[in-house]
Structure 1
Amino acid sequence: MRTLSILIFAGLALGLAGPASAQLLPRAPQLPGLPTVGGVAGDLLRPVDELGRDVTRTARRLAREQRGALEELVRDHPEVLEMTRDGPAVRSEIVAMDPDPALLAVIEAAGFAVIRREPVEDLGFELVTLSAPAGLPVDRAIARLRRLAPDLEVTANHLHLPSGVDSAGFTAAGTLAQRGGGGGTTIGLVDGGVAQHPALRGSIEQRGFTAGGLQPSAHGTAVASLIAGDGPVRGAAPGANLKVADIFGGARTGGSATNLVRAINWLVGGGVRVIAISLAGPNNPVVARAITEAHRRGTYIVASVGNAGPAAPASYPASYPESVAVTAVDSRGRVLIEAGRTPHLDYAAPGADMAAAHPGGGLTPVRGTSFAVPLVAGRLARHIGASDPLAALDREASARDRRYGRGLICASCRTPPPRN
């Protein structure tokens, strides 16, 4: 059985580490000789500068592996992806926000073509997707557009990925969970599709945002169980209603910025107040606008810091100031070595030495910051009726430490991993 773990680019926190990825547990990064919590390791007396060099080398290795994984993804799918300076993006696509018709005419006269125009009604802006002139890479096309229209906000259609680009994280055998009804708070999830599982007993509404439609995924199923699991997996909000936006459709090349924006728009329009996003990508103005508008409308975006390690670029959407940024700890309370960095950190939660739902109906070990996000989102949703939900969540924190941001949430929310 594969294990789930999140190593996405910490800009796109795809830091790879072994048995599966964080969405299926990757090979856990090894730090030779680091002291453990609660005991004295044999190398505890090693010189501090030597230990520091070990940590630095591991952090740099994680960042290199993350970048290598992204480059490999683009090489494997050159027909639909290209590498930009900030990471993988949809080939030949540029996204603009709110261009006026006169400006669009100038842009089209310069060789760009409008692929689609779409109102993002519940977030209050319009997206226009353009195709670059034939043979012109996206980065150069954006530079040309900025010369033509300096005041127009344009960006690549960047990918946002679950930690671990193993294909098992994107699609899986199983039947999609689909149940209506159910009162009470609904929690949003932007990920892959969610499969039926004995732990998922509440109402689940799902919608696909790619040409591939809804597809059950290992990553989405695991994250959903950690939010709402009740039974084999005990989630942070057992039995809660879920509204799931599948932005992958079973494809490793899904997760575009435009699909992420459409998903957030749908969830905000449906009245969802807490959205879990266990994905990571680069700083993208279109996604930033969606996060800002969701926040203005009273929706909390809970996002992972990614798994590319502290030497990689900051991960988004966690790094947007309006997001609730989450890191992960192991069973000893240690922040995972592969956890990414972010300009601000809000909370930590368990993300290792635990299990989550597998689409086949059983359990799978998981590791990564992806799996801490649903625990924080689930607990935050329980306080959504409070005058200050984050302050109410703060009071729940079982430990306060600068490594944990505002505190450690749901420390007891750890389903033991299955025995081999």
Structure 2
Amino acid sequence: MMRRILPTILAAAILASPLAAQLALPQVQLPDPGGVVGDVTDTVGIALEDVDATTQRTAARLLELRQRTIRKLLRQNRETIEADARGDLARRGELLVDGATAAQLAVLDEAGFSVLSSEQIEGLDFIVTRLAVPERLPLAKAERLARELAPGAEISADNLHYQSGAVAGTVIAPMALQSASIGTEVGVIDSAPGASVSTVATRGFAKGAPKAANHGSAVASLLKSAGVARVRVADVYGTDAAGGNALAIAKALGWLVSSGSKVVTISLVGPKNSVVQKAVAAAQKKGVVIVAAVGNDGPAAPPAYPASYDGVIAITGVDGRNRALIEAGRALNLDYAAPGADIYALDARGKRVKWRGTSFAAPLAAARLAAALSRGRNWRSTLDAEARDLGKKGPDTTYGRGLLCGTCARKK
């Protein structure tokens, strides 16, 4: 399925390159376009001004391959997804509306936008209306028209988000977990873990969910291996070809918040979306700290979301020699780095496997944040004291405020 496995064209092109050994990116998940063609070409110079020519060429190649692959994904899944007004991928034929008046909804209805449902976001105190766009009207045009008809309302496509990491090595010996010393509950928004990873609850927010998958298994098992006693998982993928959408993520976040998760880790990336942004802000107002990966599309890609929303703790990855992952994406503000390569976690079958991607740095950082909260400490000052400064002295755009959990999940 498109959200899980990197298409052959991208994997083959990267693996054939001279930097294949360094990149080690088979089956890395791609985020959706994020307005790549319009936005990134203006910011590549800024994003890459401090790196060497080889890295610049590699980043440009990653961006080119990303664009080509996403176009292919769109061609292969036209019955399920389409591009919105910014060129980002979303669920076909649907818009999400927040804050529209009854009069505006009546105007939209008269123009052919029919209400599919009103979705109460559990625990976050707001309602999202799902609209079906007029028949035969492309999503991008429908989005622009709806905004004209309902000025002031928040209208967005149901944008898709993609996992940002995958298997990078062979199956090895069974995994030994640390003692469960961290009492603060950590929520996960991803795919569901396999039976070998114990959770306090797993709930589905997509067709066919919960359904065990490798990515969610790895993320959840990394939390357990880092000592988190209570892990709660929201599966936003299941078997849905348009899984990982904005509405599913908002509903998943609401459930985690209302169920008692004090930290939520999200190893997914996508474009800025008003529904997800509102859900994140509402969760933060309730005291929940959200940790998110910056993605794997390289420094020339657009800023990743939800990592780039205000107050979200953005995490990048390093390899076993504490070098920044060359494929690591970027956020508007980078907080910390954590291991994102040469680490081991469980797949959906319960096998211990080597992984690579910023996806796997995020839960390790989240575990350290939860540990600080479980001891009643200020998490920011605690993490800053723990973080190992890498690169330029002090906070920087490559490693953030430093490396957390540097030896976590790396023992063979």
Q: TM-score range by the shorter chain?
A: 0.7 to 0.9
The change in CA–CA distance for 1:188 and 1:105 in structure 2 (over 3 A counts) is same
The one-letter code sitting in structure 2 at the alignment partner of 1:112 is: F
Query: Match of 1:193, SS?
Result: coil
Superposition deviation, residue 360 in structure 1: 2.0
Asked if structure 1 preserves the Cα contact closer than 8 Å seen for 2:6 and 2:26, the reply is: no
Task: Give distance in 2, aligned partners of 1:86 and 1:318.
Answer: 20
Structure 2 equivalent of residue 192 of structure 1 = 191
Deviations 1:234-284 (A, max 9, x none): x22x25211100000034431000000000010111121100100000011
Structure 1 equivalent of residue 316 of structure 2 = 327
The one-letter code sitting in structure 1 at the alignment partner of 2:189 is: V
Structure 2 equivalent of residue 62 of structure 1 = 62
Match 2:388 to one of 395, 398, 401:
398
Query: Match of 1:384, SS?
Result: helix
Superposition deviation, residue 110 in structure 1: 1.0
Structure 1 equivalent of residue 358 of structure 2 = 369
Task: Give distance in 1, aligned partners of 2:136 and 2:340.
Answer: 43
The structure in which a higher percent of residues are helix is 2
Task: Give distance in 2, aligned partners of 1:268 and 1:354.
Answer: 29
Equivalences for residues 162-177 of structure 1 within 5 A: 162-163=163-164
Superposition deviation, residue 341 in structure 1: 1.2
Asked if structure 2 preserves the Cα contact closer than 8 Å seen for 1:217 and 1:250, the reply is: no
CA-atom RMSD, angstroms? 2.6
Task: Give distance in 2, aligned partners of 1:211 and 1:360.
Answer: 21
The one-letter code sitting in structure 2 at the alignment partner of 1:83 is: A
Task: Give distance in 2, aligned partners of 1:316 and 1:306.
Answer: 9
Task: Give distance in 2, aligned partners of 1:285 and 1:163.
Answer: 21
Superposition deviation, residue 122 in structure 1: 1.6
Question: Normalised by the size of structure 1, how large is the TM-score?
Answer: 0.80
Structure 1 residue runs of 4 or more that deviate by more than 3 Å after TM superposition: 5-8, 15-24
The change in CA–CA distance for 1:19 and 1:300 in structure 2 (over 3 A counts) is same
Superposition deviation, residue 147 in structure 1: 1.1
Asked if structure 1 preserves the Cα contact closer than 8 Å seen for 2:269 and 2:294, the reply is: yes
Match 1:410 to one of 392, 405, 410:
405
Structure 2 equivalent of residue 344 of structure 1 = 333
Equivalences for residues 6-17 of structure 1 within 5 A: none
Superposition deviation, residue 86 in structure 1: 3.8
Superposition deviation, residue 22 in structure 1: 4.8
Could you tell me which runs of 5 or more consecutive residues in structure 2 were left unpaired when the two chains were aligned: 8-13, 16-22, 31-48, 169-180
The change in CA–CA distance for 1:7 and 1:325 in structure 2 (over 3 A counts) is farther
Task: Give distance in 2, aligned partners of 1:6 and 1:413.
Answer: 26
Task: Give distance in 2, aligned partners of 1:242 and 1:113.
Answer: 39
Task: Give distance in 1, aligned partners of 2:359 and 2:236.
Answer: 16
The one-letter code sitting in structure 2 at the alignment partner of 1:409 is: L
Task: Give distance in 2, aligned partners of 1:155 and 1:122.
Answer: 21
Asked if structure 2 preserves the Cα contact closer than 8 Å seen for 1:96 and 1:155, the reply is: yes
Query: Match of 1:377, SS?
Result: helix
Indicate yes or no: 2:274 matched with 1:285. Answer: yes
Superposition deviation, residue 400 in structure 1: 4.9
Deviations 1:94-149 (A, max 9, x none): 10113222211111011101111012242121100101111111111111111111
The one-letter code sitting in structure 2 at the alignment partner of 1:365 is: K
Query: Match of 2:381, SS?
Result: helix
Structure 2 equivalent of residue 261 of structure 1 = 250
Deviations 1:186-208 (A, max 9, x none): 110000010022xx3x5431000
The change in CA–CA distance for 1:213 and 1:203 in structure 2 (over 3 A counts) is closer
Superposition deviation, residue 379 in structure 1: 1.0
Equivalences for residues 7-406 of structure 1 within 5 A: 20-22=26-28, 52-84=52-84, 85-163=86-164, 184-197=183-196, 200=197, 202-228=198-224, 235-236=225-226, 238-385=227-374, 386-401=376-391, 402=396, 403-406=398-401
Superposition deviation, residue 183 in structure 1: 10
Asked if structure 2 preserves the Cα contact closer than 8 Å seen for 1:21 and 1:367, the reply is: no
Task: Give distance in 1, aligned partners of 2:140 and 2:293.
Answer: 27
Task: Give distance in 2, aligned partners of 1:189 and 1:119.
Answer: 20
The change in CA–CA distance for 1:246 and 1:117 in structure 2 (over 3 A counts) is same
The one-letter code sitting in structure 1 at the alignment partner of 2:369 is: L
Query: Match of 2:152, SS?
Result: coil
Query: Match of 1:135, SS?
Result: coil
Asked if structure 1 preserves the Cα contact closer than 8 Å seen for 2:266 and 2:291, the reply is: yes
Asked if structure 2 preserves the Cα contact closer than 8 Å seen for 1:350 and 1:371, the reply is: yes
Asked if structure 2 preserves the Cα contact closer than 8 Å seen for 1:6 and 1:163, the reply is: no
The change in CA–CA distance for 1:6 and 1:413 in structure 2 (over 3 A counts) is farther
Superposition deviation, residue 6 in structure 1: 10
Deviations 1:376-412 (A, max 9, x none): 0111111114352122122111335423212210001
Deviations 1:17-40 (A, max 9, x none): 65533569xxxxxxxxxxxxxxxx
The change in CA–CA distance for 1:88 and 1:123 in structure 2 (over 3 A counts) is same
Q: State percent identity of aligned pairs.
A: 41
The change in CA–CA distance for 1:351 and 1:87 in structure 2 (over 3 A counts) is same
Superposition deviation, residue 162 in structure 1: 0.3
Asked if structure 1 preserves the Cα contact closer than 8 Å seen for 2:339 and 2:408, the reply is: yes
Query: Match of 2:250, SS?
Result: helix
Question: Normalised by the size of structure 2, how large is the TM-score?
Answer: 0.81
Superposition deviation, residue 64 in structure 1: 1.9
- Of structures 1 and 2, the one with the larger relative CO (CA 8 A, separation 6+) is 1
The change in CA–CA distance for 1:245 and 1:381 in structure 2 (over 3 A counts) is same
Task: Give distance in 2, aligned partners of 1:390 and 1:21.
Answer: 34
Superposition deviation, residue 66 in structure 1: 1.9
